[in-house]
Amino acid sequence: MDSRGFILLQLLVLWSLATTAFSLSPYYYQNICPQALPTIRKVVEAAVYKERRMGASLLRLHYHDCFVNGCDASLLLDPSPTIDSEKNSLANQNSARGFEVIDAIKAEVDQICGRPVVSCADILAVAARDSVVALGGPSWQVQLGRRDSTTASRAQADTDLPSPFLDLPALINSFKNHGLNERDLVALSGAHTIGFAQCFTFRNRIYNATNIDPAFAVERRATCPLTGGNTNLAPLDPTPVHFDTAYFNNLVKQMGLLISDQALFSGGSTDDLVNTYKLYPQVFWYDFAQSMIKMGNIKPLTGDQGQIRTNCRLVNYY
């Protein structure tokens, strides 16, 4: 082999090593801290056992993190003179919850690992998976190796987080902007098979929509008056602490709670997929897991980018 060929080979090897080093992998902590993932699972299971609703809250944190500048734990940063916290965005203020569980996970993981080696972004991703499993849903191999951001953007959160008032074309466009297709949209919306929503997010639908089951609207109005009661909760489907396909059953019956829920079954391009998930739970489970992996790959910080925070709420300054 001549010198030029040898140099080219060396460059290819170095490129391959660099690509491997900075790619996410489910085995990232296998040698760094093999007890990291079991520790996260233990804390999540305890939190969900204590309050079943917490499973949906932890899953939602991962969604709301990834949709704003990628899966980088920017959502967890508290307000400060230099941080315009995403916690204060329209979609998160007085709504996003579970931060204390993430803090507890971080403390236990750092203790078991002997130092801060597990990023807050990875904790969010693993906690989301473990929450779904704790509520009876599917599991998947979480890709790992993300690092934590040193910035946050409330303005970006207000722009990028999908509103519960969006119609189908707007939802499709919102997900497309993050590299997610219509199948991802419907599968990931299936996360609403667990959890609750506040009255102000569905009031307009239960009082003004025409594509709604009348008896369902009356039932929801009982706890969501025309004025007041903005934070009153209603379940997103009939089994809000069980990961199942009741959400899709509801959509077919015109009993989706949010405008953005019912938009998925409204005579549009996603109707067939809603019906498929309703009839074949195993298809939904598979697609949900694949879409969660895909969402978890949105613009991660890797390698020397970002940092591993010692406190998930604060940027490291040193």
- Check residues 14 and 230 and name the one with the higher pLDDT: 230
Choose the catalytic residue: 62, 64, 178, 192: 64
Give residue 257's pLDDT. 98
pLDDT digits (tens, 9 = 90+) for 124-182: 999 999 999 999 999 999 999 999 999 999 999 999 999 999 999 999 999 999 999 99
> How much of the chain exceeds pLDDT 90, in percent?
92
Where does the pLDDT of residue 210 fall: very low under 50, low under 70, confident under 90, or very high at 90 and above? very high
Where does the pLDDT of residue 23 fall: very low under 50, low under 70, confident under 90, or very high at 90 and above? confident
Give residue 8's pLDDT. 44
Active site residue 64: yes
312 pLDDT above the threshold of 80? yes
5 pLDDT above the threshold of 60? no
Q: Tell me the three-class secondary structure of the chain, residue by residue.
A: CCHHHHHHHHHHHHHHHHHHHCCCECCCCCCCCCCHHHHHHHHHHHHHHHCCCHHHHHHHHHHHHHCCCCCCCHHHCCCECCECCHHHCCCCCCCCCCHHHHHHHHHHHHHHHCCCCCCHHHHHHHHHHHHHHHCCCCCCCCCECCEECCCCCHHHHHHHCCCCCCCHHHHHHHHHCCCCCHHHHHHHHHHHHCCEEEHHHHHHHHHHCCCCCHHHHHHHHCCCCCCCCCCCEEECCCCCCCCCCHHHHHHHCCCCCCHHHHCCCCCCCCHHHHHHHHHCHHHHHHHHHHHHHHHHCCCCECCCCCECCCCCCCCCCC
